[in-house]
Amino acid sequence: MATTNDLKNGTVLKIEGQLQQVVEFQHVKPGKGPAFVRTKLKNVMSGKIVDKTFNAGIKVETATVDRRDMQYLYNDGSDFIFMDMETYEQIPIAPEVVGDAAKFMLENHEVTVATNEGTVLFIELPPSVVLEISYTEPGLQGDRSNAGTKPATLETGAEIQVPLFLDVGTKVKVDTRDGSYLGRVND
């Protein structure tokens, strides 16, 4: 058990039998009346996001979440196979659980796998990854870095917007939270 004053982003709560992860929270102390905590909660299983307000200081039930560093090995056609970095145990994880993280995972990349009582809840990617552009239209003479963007397909199959001057084979840094282009990476 914890109180609403202990909430942090990433904390997993057990509310009405459902596991909810805190995406955002804000302590509010109005001029009149008691303080409260406004939260944005994401259902760990369905991915649905809801807003919920708690009175400040009330007790909330937290779920025990075990976060382990694992290496993504390969996709066997139906599941994604991950290896625990400490025990070398390999575990299959269903595509529904991996979700959008699959767009930014390359084989042998390390990720954090969160489990609760043996059930895999979700995959946490690093904030950014470096991926190579596998296809994009060629840039034209006169294209400048501030002239706009064009679609580019990354080696994982994800499509993002990149500046016009980038070509196939360029390595780029990508934000894994929203798929935005962060910059070019020089080897």
Rounded to an integer, what distance in angstroms lies between the CA atom of residue 111 and that of residue 101?
10
Q: Model's pTM, two decimal places?
A: 0.72
Model pLDDT for residues 163-187, shown as the tens digit of each residue: 888 889 999 999 988 889 999 888 6
CB contact at 8 A, 10 and 62: no
Q: Are both 108 and 139 inside the same structural domain?
A: no
Rounded to an integer, what distance in angstroms lies between the CA atom of residue 137 and that of residue 163?
11
Q: Are both 119 and 159 inside the same structural domain?
A: no
Q: Are both 85 and 41 inside the same structural domain?
A: no
Q: Are both 115 and 71 inside the same structural domain?
A: yes
Burial string for 135-146 (b: 16+ CB within 10 Å, else e) reads ebeebeeeeeee
Structure tokens at 40: 């944005």
Burial-class residue 43 by CB neighbours within 10 Å (0-12, 13-18, 19+). Answer: middle
Model pLDDT for residues 114-168, shown as the tens digit of each residue: 888 888 888 889 999 999 999 988 866 555 555 678 899 999 999 999 888 888 9
Q: What is the CATH number of the domain that holds 71?
A: 2.40.50.140
Q: Are both 29 and 74 inside the same structural domain?
A: no
Rounded to an integer, what distance in angstroms lies between the CA atom of residue 177 and that of residue 80?
20
Q: Are both 72 and 107 inside the same structural domain?
A: yes
Q: Are both 44 and 70 inside the same structural domain?
A: no
Q: Whole domain around residue 75: which residue ranges?
A: 66-124
Q: Are both 116 and 141 inside the same structural domain?
A: no
Name the amino acid, one letter, at 133: I
DSSP state of 127: S
Of 60, 77, 108, the residue that ends a domain is 60
Rounded to an integer, what distance in angstroms lies between the CA atom of residue 162 and that of residue 145?
10
Structural domain total, the chain: 3
Rounded to an integer, what distance in angstroms lies between the CA atom of residue 94 and that of residue 7?
29
Structure tokens at 23: 């995406």
Q: Are both 146 and 161 inside the same structural domain?
A: yes
Of 85, 100, 124, the residue that ends a domain is 124
Q: Are both 133 and 174 inside the same structural domain?
A: yes
Q: Are both 42 and 70 inside the same structural domain?
A: no
Model pLDDT for residues 4-18, shown as the tens digit of each residue: 888 888 888 998 888
Q: What is the CATH number of the domain that holds 35?
A: 2.30.30.30
Q: Are both 6 and 56 inside the same structural domain?
A: yes
Name the amino acid, one letter, at 22: V
**What is the predicted pLDDT for the residue at 187?**
67
Rounded to an integer, what distance in angstroms lies between the CA atom of residue 161 and that of residue 138?
14
